[in-house]
Each structure stands twice: as C-alpha cells, then as structure tokens.
Structure 1
Amino acid sequence: MALLPIADAQARLLALADRTPVERVRLAKAIGRWAAEPVVARRTQPETDLSAMDGYALRFADLPGPWTVIGESAAGAGFPGSVTPGAAVRIFTGAPMPPGADTVLIQEEAAREGDRLMLAGEGPAYPGRNTRRRGLDFAEGETLIATGERLTPARIALAAIGGHATIPVHRKLRVAIAATGDELVAPGAAIGPAQLPESNRTMLAAQFADLPVEIVDLGILPDDLDALTRTFADVQADLLVTSGGASVGDHDLVRPALEAAGATIDFWRIALRPGKPMMAGRRGDMVVLGLPGNPVSVFVTALLFAKPLIAHRSGAADPFPPLRAAILAEPLPANGPRTDYLRAAVIDGRVHASAIQDSSMLRTLARSTCLIVRAPHAPAANISDSVEILDIA
C-alpha cells in the first residue's frame, strides 16, 4: 500500500466533517475561539473628537495667544459651550474637544495665571495636534473581525468597544481520548517490569487545552477486540482520538475494533516520520483518529492532524501550524521517502537537531523548541543552510 502524502491526508481529514453549529457567547467566554461570522462595528470610535493629552483646547489660528480659560472638559463630562476666538478650555486626556477648538496645547507648554493662559514652549506644530479625530479607530459599519479570525484578547476588546456584548462562534467540540495497551497503567500507579505509565492522554489533553473542546477521557483500554468495539460503539463525541494499536501487529486492534463498531476508515498509513501508522475515518457524524502509540509520534500527529481538524471544525480560516525559516547549526543527512519532523532547538539564532530521534523519547521532545521539517528525498543540508521549522514551544 502506497503511503499517503501529508498534505493529501490533511485535506482528506478536513473533508470528513463540517464545522460545528454557530452559537453566540459572551465576550469573556470567546477567548481562543474563531469568529463564525464577520463582527461589524455598531458605533464609530471615537464618536467625537477627543483630546490625546492633558492641556488646553483652543483654536490653532489663535496661536501664540494669550487666551482666556472659559471652562473645563473631562472624560465623560465635556464642556457645554464652544470655544470662540481668544478662548481656551482646560482639557484632559480622553475628554471631548469642545466645538470651535481644533488643537490641544499640552500643559507642559502652557503657563497660567488665574484665567489667563500663555504659551510657555514651542506649542503645537499644526492644526489638530494632540487630538484624536472622530472615527480615528473605525467607523460604524466597518468589519472589525473577519470570519475565521482567532479571537485574541485584543480582538475581544475590539468587539467590546465596537458595541458587542456577544460574539458568534462555532460550538465547542466534544473530544473523546483513549489510550490502548495491556502494558499501560495510570500515571503514578505501581508498575511491574513489563508495564509502562500511560502519558499520551495527558499529553493530548494538554495539546488541546488552547482549543474550544470538551474532553471526554475514556481511560486506558485493553488489547481486547470485543472490549474496544463496545467502547468505540458507545462513544458520543465529535471526535474520537485513540493512541496505540494502530499498526499491523497481532495486538494492534484499533482498526478492526473501529470497523466492527461501524466506522469507515478513510485513510491509513502516511508518508510521515514519526507517525506513519496514523488512520482516520468516520463513525456516523464522529470523526475517528487512530494515532500511533509512541509519545513523539502522538505529539507530531496531533500537531499536524488532530489540532488542525479541531481548529477547522471550530471555524479557523487557516487551521494548520505555520512554518518559518531557520539557519542550521550543523549538517543534516539526506532524507528518505517520508516527510521527517526532527526534534530540535533554536539556540543563539540557529537550529540544532537532537542527536537521537527515537519516537519513544519524551525527554528529547520536552527539551525541543521546534521541529525541523525535511521534505521527502531532501538532499543533505550543510551548516548555515536555511531549513523550515515548526515552533512547538
């Protein structure tokens, strides 16, 4: 069976399911989600000309003064009258500019004796200096947040000042996570010589922590076809992610169990290292992802497939992790027929690949800050060559 290229596998995976339904949530609950519809300004910001500094609102044409101070304008309580020739209004940052005034003389360049105001510095250089004009940030009807943009703290604040209390997003995904293997025990439990603490469920939940998901922990499942089939048939979720049992050994039972539970496998085995045995399919409306068992393989396949799938179904315009260029600190050998993701770290501006790339070694992964992406059949690379990396820390 030919191995499926990564890009083809990613495209087929995203095509397996539509985005979740749209709902509106309060802004405080929207962080980290994606806008399901354009967020359009319901007001103009600022709604009127404002002062950008503490000082005096006046007419630029009246420079160099002197002026008579006729009142005060503070944020939330503007001056009720207007500024006439030779007059000035004491004003504070964020306060409305009174009608007739077009410029602010900052207080550091002003001298005042009672109501008499005089220039004590260079003064404003042009009309409108030290002011914020109406609509400087945006005007009513402008799109503030486009469909598919991530709702960052700044964008949530933008929606708030644009007049919104809620924002349209896609419903959170219910994600079920299971580990398989008779050798696995819960973290912290006593283990025998043939046993291993299970780490993949915890790692996957941590990888999904910044995504809009509700995690369902199915625990550690035995290498038993009937038990796996029953569990998979009963799962109610948008996405089922398993780790282990995805290869072709006698104890690799995830694929037959999924099929016995009614799932259809869309693809299996990818031109990827680490993570070749990954599989994907559907059972009804639920997408199923069978990840390998080795922790590094789980991390990489979750990064390239599970997280983008969740982001896509949650409305992300671009769900895939971005690549960037980096300079090699040491040479790399020519690559084989699969895309290789090498654990590495950027140190002093150059990227260093880890000496050992065994997919069971979590400490190497924990010390890495990025993955070097090596295309299939990439030629040997030399010191100072440019390579593509994917940041992971």
Structure 2
Amino acid sequence: MRTPPLPLAEAQARLLALAPSLPVEHRAVTECLGHYLAEDLHARRTQPAAALSAMDGFAMRSADLPGPWRVIGESAAGHPFAGSVGAGQATRISTGAMLPHGADMVLLQEDSERDGDGLRLTGELPQPPSRHVRPAGMDFTAHETLIAAGQRVGPAQIALAIAGGHSHLPVRRRVSLTVIDSGDELVAPGHLPDLHQLPASNGPMLCALASCLPVDIRHAGPVEDKLDHLAGALDAASAADVIVTSGGASVGDHDLVRPALEALGASIDFWRVSIKPGKPLLVATRGRQVILGLPGNPASAFVTAYLFLLPLLRAMLGARDALPRTFPARLATPMARGGGRMEFLRAVWDGAHVALDPLQDSGALSPLSRANALVVREAGADAKPAGTDVPVYLLENGGIA
C-alpha cells in the first residue's frame, strides 16, 4: 500500500491515535524525572503550615508600632518560640522561623537597634507591616491541585511533590523501544567504512534523541537488505512497545521495511508524508505495537523522529501536549520561496535571530550538528526577507520544555 502523501497535521493525528495507553504505576518521586503525571496530584499538607518570617529581624505586633519593645525570646528555623508575644514585646526571629503566637509582623534587624532586652526602631517600617511575613498557605493549601495530569515532571515538580507530602507519583510505565538500522552499505560504529560504505550513525542518533524521555531502548543492527534478515530483526522485537527502523522505507528495490512488516502480519496505516526532508515515512501496527519506518538520510531520520517518534512516545507516557510547539523568530538572512512540500530547515537561533544553514541536503550531518532550531517553510510560501518572523522549533533536549 502506497498512500498519497499526507499533510503533516493529519499524519501526526493518525499516529497519535494509534498510541497505546500504558499501565499506571506508582514510582518513587526521585525516580520520576522526565515522566508525565497520570493523574492530578493533590497536596496532602499546607505550605507553609504556619506563618514564617521571610527575613532576619524581630517579630512583634503591628499594633505596637512604632515601639519601643522588650525582647522576650527567640524563634529560629526548626525551633519556634514556645510562648506568645504580648503588648510591647518582641522576639528575635530568623529567616524561615515560625512567627510566635500574637505576632503579625517582622522588623528587619538593619532597621532596629537592640540594647540588652530593649529594642527600638532606627530605620524604615515595613510597608505593609506584613511585608516580611510568609502567611500560612502562601505556596499551597491541603487538597489543592499541585501538578495537573499530563504535566512533565522536572526538578521543580519533584521538589513540589515532596513538599506536598508525596513520596511516590502516579506515572505511566517506561516505554520499551527497539531501534533498527538497515542497509547493506552500513558499517557498525568503531569500524572505518570502505568507499562504498557508510557508518551506521542513524541508530545511535535516534537512541540519543529518545533518551530524553523515560524509555528503555534496545539498538539492533545494522541489518542487511535481505527480507528474511529484516523480518527476523523485526520479529525479535515483538515485545517492544515501539519499533523504529532507519532506512528501507522508500520505494526502491532494496527498500524492504514494508514487505518485511507485511510478512509478519503488520498493518500499514499510512506511508508517505508531504514534508521535506522525510517524505517516505511509514507507520504500521502489529497488535498494540507501533512501528515507524523512517528514511535513511540522516536529516530525514532526525526530522521525522522529532515530528513523529518523540510525540508518539510522549503520548504513550501520558503527556498533555505531545506535539512540539513553534515560536516566532526573526530571520537573520533571507529565505527563498517554498516548494511543493512543507520544509524543515536546519538553522541556528541566537536568542534574537535565526540563521538558516547554507547546506540543507538531507544526507548532510554537519548542518544538523550545528543546528539548534528547525525553521518551518510552508509549501509554496513566498520568499521572505531578513527581519521577517518565521515559525521555529527549538531542538535542545529533544524539543521538550
């Protein structure tokens, strides 16, 4: 089956509709980096649980301003003052310490002068008086939603979950992924190729790209361009959630991914997408398993993995937003008129402008290694002068924010 080239959005939607739902497990929060929450996470406690001082100084009643006061004790972080603050009284207080009962303000130590137990105002009063007080529940309150389902767990989310009283988080289990290189011309890394050969670089590149997500990766190949060899490699990966092949997905006499899949009883969902690079993308299923046949040219393999493999993995892991997002960036150089397909041009974004690499051949790795962005050029788009805003995908960390 050779389907007409699908528009990008339709192809992505069809692929994500195939994503199987993985079982939920409760993992230790410290092991959840990069996962996506499977359920809303609610606070089991209030943070802070009591009013705290945001600065070093003295705690007292605002009703007693402008003083003077008598210092009757100290409240330190982890060691609260046991009594109450009454009229004309104050306690020494440190950052993060509980405000004593009766106190509602903190006077900074640099705005005061202490003589024995006596304390007087020498600087400015805090405005409002509660300025240096962190009230109970300032951060969050018990039962409040801390992290929504589908949100990615990063370092800050780990800290927030722990602060909310959680030791384990509900996440989808890790995805099992097999990456297969195919092609008679490929030589395994570590061996210098002859003139008619190429280093098998796509597989390690795809493994590295997928490793930014909680995925267990197996790399197989390079596999020879023989139907039984490729079918055997695919069959050996029958337990994987996802198989990704690199090379052999086009229409040449030695492009054997499709016939190998059909020999194993896989169902082809679509084959070819109207993008450049990456047109000969193949998507198939075998039971709950999803198979992506990526092109063999390295830039094509990278772009299709970025636009299809990573979104599929995110969807399986429960991401709320599986697809990457573009942002507008200003062209540093002119961009020529678009062709018949949507294009993804390797480029460098410097924080203000995006510059297209002069070499855009899909077989070239050096521009891909220089790039930290992909500029989207719509099919048939008019030429654009420097200074025009264009949609851009950022590539750092697999394009995951």
TM over 0.5: yes
Equivalent in the alignment of 1:251: 254
Q: Secondary structure at the match of 1:364?
A: helix
8 Å CA contact 2:20, 2:288 repeated in 1: no
| Greater alpha carbon shift after TM alignment, 77-86 vs 333-342 | 333-342
Give the direction of change, closer, same or farther, for the CA distance of 1:51–1:240 in structure 2 (3 Å limit): same
Distance in 2 (alpha carbons) for counterparts of 1:187 and 1:352: 32
Q: Secondary structure at the match of 1:256?
A: helix
Measure how far apart 1:328 and its partner are.
Answer: 1.6
| Greater alpha carbon shift after TM alignment, 307-316 vs 120-129 | 120-129
Query: Identity rate of aligned residues, in percent?
Result: 51
Equivalent in the alignment of 1:381: 384
Distance in 2 (alpha carbons) for counterparts of 1:326 and 1:379: 17
Equivalent in the alignment of 2:146: 144
Equivalent in the alignment of 1:101: 103
Give the direction of change, closer, same or farther, for the CA distance of 1:383–1:125 in structure 2 (3 Å limit): closer
Q: Secondary structure at the match of 2:233?
A: helix
Structure 1 residues 74-105: Cα deviation after superposition (integer angstroms, max 9, x where no partner): 11111111011011111111111111111011
Equivalent in the alignment of 1:356: 359
Equivalent in the alignment of 1:31: 33
Unpaired runs of 5+ residues, structure 2, are 397-401
Which of 369, 374, 381 lines up with 1:371 in the alignment? Answer: 374
Distance in 1 (alpha carbons) for counterparts of 2:103 and 2:138: 17
Which of 264, 278, 301 lines up with 2:267 in the alignment? Answer: 264
The residue type equivalent to 1:10 in the other structure is Q
Measure how far apart 1:209 and its partner are.
Answer: 1.4
Q: Secondary structure at the match of 1:23?
A: strand
Indicate yes or no: 2:334 matched with 1:296: no
Which of 71, 75, 79 lines up with 2:73 in the alignment? Answer: 71
Distance in 2 (alpha carbons) for counterparts of 1:328 and 1:95: 52
Q: Secondary structure at the match of 1:163?
A: coil
Equivalent in the alignment of 2:217: 215
Measure how far apart 1:188 and its partner are.
Answer: 1.9
Which of 44, 62, 66 lines up with 2:46 in the alignment? Answer: 44
What value does the CA root-mean-square deviation take over the aligned residues? 1.2
Q: Secondary structure at the match of 1:8?
A: helix
| Greater alpha carbon shift after TM alignment, 382-391 vs 157-166 | 382-391
Distance in 2 (alpha carbons) for counterparts of 1:126 and 1:115: 26
8 Å CA contact 1:233, 1:262 repeated in 2: no
Structure 1 residues 15-69: Cα deviation after superposition (integer angstroms, max 9, x where no partner): 1122211111111111111111001000011111111111111011111211111
Distance in 2 (alpha carbons) for counterparts of 1:354 and 1:17: 34
Q: Secondary structure at the match of 2:83?
A: coil
Unpaired runs of 5+ residues, structure 1, are none
Distance in 2 (alpha carbons) for counterparts of 1:191 and 1:386: 43
Indicate yes or no: 2:90 matched with 1:88: yes
Equivalent in the alignment of 1:199: 201
Distance in 2 (alpha carbons) for counterparts of 1:152 and 1:353: 31
Distance in 2 (alpha carbons) for counterparts of 1:130 and 1:102: 10
Runs of 4+ in 1 over 4 A off after TM superposition: none
Aligned residue-pair number: 393
Measure how far apart 1:190 and its partner are.
Answer: 3.1
Q: So what's the TM-score if we normalise by structure 2?
A: 0.96
Equivalent in the alignment of 2:399: none
8 Å CA contact 2:64, 2:88 repeated in 1: yes
Equivalent in the alignment of 2:233: 231
The residue type equivalent to 2:77 in the other structure is A
Q: Secondary structure at the match of 1:242?
A: strand
Distance in 1 (alpha carbons) for counterparts of 2:353 and 2:81: 59
Q: So what's the TM-score if we normalise by structure 1?
A: 0.98
Distance in 2 (alpha carbons) for counterparts of 1:217 and 1:13: 22
Distance in 2 (alpha carbons) for counterparts of 1:126 and 1:304: 52
Distance in 2 (alpha carbons) for counterparts of 1:174 and 1:195: 30
Structure 1 residues 240-278: Cα deviation after superposition (integer angstroms, max 9, x where no partner): 000000011111001100111121110001101000001
Equivalent in the alignment of 2:172: 170
| Greater alpha carbon shift after TM alignment, 351-360 vs 38-47 | 351-360
The residue type equivalent to 1:44 in the other structure is T
Distance in 1 (alpha carbons) for counterparts of 2:318 and 2:286: 22
8 Å CA contact 1:48, 1:96 repeated in 2: yes
